[in-house]
Structure 1
Amino acid sequence: MIVFLVDADNLSSPEWVNEALEILEASEGAIAVRRAYGSAENLKGLAETLRTWAIRPFVNLSLSKNTTDIALASDAMEFACQMPAPSMIVVGSGDADFVPLVVRLRERGIKVVCVSERSKMASEAVYAYDKVLFVGNQKAVSTDFTMDDAGTSVSGRTKEGDTTTTKTTPVKKEAAKKSPTKKTAEKKVDTKAPAATVDKTSVSAILAAVPNLKAGQWLHLSDAAKTLHDSKLLGKNASTTKLFNKHPDQFELTPKKQPNKVRYIKTTGKA
């Protein structure tokens, strides 16, 4: 005996249900039990198909939760417990919620087939079924699954009259382990000898920047400051007075409180 239970809230197109019934009867044989579960609105949309194929409608209870899945699963298990049990139960839905039901039915030796629109088929539910029949805008495609001794899904048989696609359980390929290669950054070695550090605050550096000081005459501090700034010996906001005060034995500032002039004091042995 073959049982076809339609989740009309999922498989709701009359054309798809017609297509499924035609293919199933042609490939599997007569379908003894035909039932459709769903809301009143969806079942109304299938009214002509239900009448044509003598499918019994089961309307959902008007509750806050959708009762379609539970109603369908309850009837499927009731059929599975009958003696004799159905040889095949077809579930008209791609919903992954039916996977536990499918597993229990298969454990009882019942072949379980899924009918679904390809876009509504849950990918994690595909390999739970013995066969998946896709219907919809394209020509129906059925996929058979058989189990080898090790319990691994292997390719199925192609039936005449169907466009059949066989699938195998995807085998995870181990990615080739690449031996880690350590890239050693090449450090550029500077072979040039470090340049001699010039003390910009030394007496010789100051005299080289302001040669007028060498004569030992008084020089306006502002003129000296300008020359020192231009020669980059003195920073933009640096104090000229502090620079000369670093060498009190070589430079004299006047007046003492607010100096405005500077002169170089020649000392024997000093530049």
Structure 2
Amino acid sequence: MIVFLVDADNLSSPDWVNEALEILEASEGALAVRRAYGSADNLKGLAEMLRTWAIRPFVNLSLSKNTTDIALASDAMEFACQTPAPSMIVIGSGDADFVPLVVRLRERGIKVVCVSERSKMASEAVYAYDKVLFVGNQKAGSTDSPMDNAGASVHGRANAANSTTAKSTPVKKVAAKKSPTKKTAAKKVDTKAPAATVDKTSVSVILAAVPNLKAGEWLHLSDAAKALHNSKLLGKNASTTKLFNKYPDQFELTPNKQPNKVRYITPLDKL
């Protein structure tokens, strides 16, 4: 069982929560428990997202300090004491206050993952987690998986230790000509793979992968995304919205600002 607990006072953007859910479900599997903790105002801003993903909201008492953190930590430990315990607990917050909780969960054999905006991630909390997933800020021009970036940052301490020992060896051996050519070759393969997937998509292929669209009824975007991922028409971190926006005459998204539903415009609709 995978548990996702969101600190809505810290991770308060519906776009970033949606991005995290799509990546986690594609890479880790179904999230059995989804909860969001926060003030009434912050949870209100996530209302549409909570409804779309069936996330249970928990409004905290209007006290002066740490009510959200304590509520989230209490539920996390309650889950950890269940039999069987969750295989993974995901905490949607970059707050360093959760480090003692993370340590206790790891000691009980539970994998702990953090979801955070890069600007809100406490540097002293990074190494406490098994993995860190950064959402939002690093997306411009990047095709790398945020989960891969997180893994690199978590294991950066070991890499740093290796680099300090490598300094004592001659620099020329490290900068051998063969290593750059291997890296550049790997990059070329990565950049071509997404392009091949996009070129193969068409309206008929999309409808074959998501047959529920053929009736012209509104379908949750998350359901369409799952079907496209299962058919390997959409990469783990590719945008479902961008794919449908390629065919504005065949697919309609709603609402315009933050779409969460899609429908196929049938030939009868065009008459």
TM-score normalised over the length of structure 1? 0.55
Per-residue CA distance 1:75-115 (angstroms, 9 max, x = gap): 00000000000000000000000000000000000000000
For the pair shown, which has the larger CA radius of gyration, 1 or 2? 1
In the alignment, the residues of structure 2 paired with residue 51 and residue 34 of structure 1 have an alpha-carbon distance, to the nearest angstrom, of: 11
Pairing 1:168–2:156 present = yes
In the alignment, the residues of structure 2 paired with residue 112 and residue 143 of structure 1 have an alpha-carbon distance, to the nearest angstrom, of: 16
Tell me the CA shift for residue 11 of structure 1. Answer: 0.2
| Structure 1 portions without partners, runs of 5+ | 146-155, 157-163, 177-271
Does the CA contact (< 8 Å) of 1:60 and 1:66 recur in 2?
no
Does the CA contact (< 8 Å) of 1:5 and 1:36 recur in 2?
yes
Does the CA contact (< 8 Å) of 2:95 and 2:120 recur in 1?
yes
Does the CA contact (< 8 Å) of 2:118 and 2:137 recur in 1?
no
| Structure 2 portions without partners, runs of 5+ | 140-144, 168-271
Number of residue pairs matched?
Answer: 158
Instruction: Tell me what 2:82 maps to.
Output: 82
Does the CA contact (< 8 Å) of 1:131 and 1:143 recur in 2?
no
Per-residue CA distance 1:38-70 (angstroms, 9 max, x = gap): 000000000000000000000010112230000
Pairing 1:37–2:56 present = no
Tell me the CA shift for residue 165 of structure 1. Answer: 6.5
Pairing 1:59–2:59 present = yes
Instruction: Tell me what 2:146 maps to.
Output: 141
Instruction: Tell me what 2:173 maps to.
Output: none
TM-score normalised over the length of structure 2? 0.55
Deviates more, 1:132-141 or 1:24-33: 132-141
Instruction: Tell me what 1:124 maps to.
Output: 124
Does the CA contact (< 8 Å) of 1:93 and 1:116 recur in 2?
yes
In the alignment, the residues of structure 1 paired with residue 103 and residue 148 of structure 2 have an alpha-carbon distance, to the nearest angstrom, of: 18
In the alignment, the residues of structure 1 paired with residue 9 and residue 103 of structure 2 have an alpha-carbon distance, to the nearest angstrom, of: 22
- Larger strand fraction of residues: 1
In the alignment, the residues of structure 2 paired with residue 63 and residue 90 of structure 1 have an alpha-carbon distance, to the nearest angstrom, of: 25
Q: What is the one-letter code of the residue matched to 2:8?
A: A
Alignment partner of 2:102: what SS? helix
Does the CA contact (< 8 Å) of 2:10 and 2:94 recur in 1?
yes
Q: What is the one-letter code of the residue matched to 1:80?
A: A
- Larger helix fraction of residues: 2
CA change 1:58–1:166 in 2 (3 A) is: closer
Question: Bigger relative contact order, structure 1 or 2, given CA contacts below 8 A and separation 6+?
Answer: 2
In the alignment, the residues of structure 2 paired with residue 65 and residue 137 of structure 1 have an alpha-carbon distance, to the nearest angstrom, of: 28
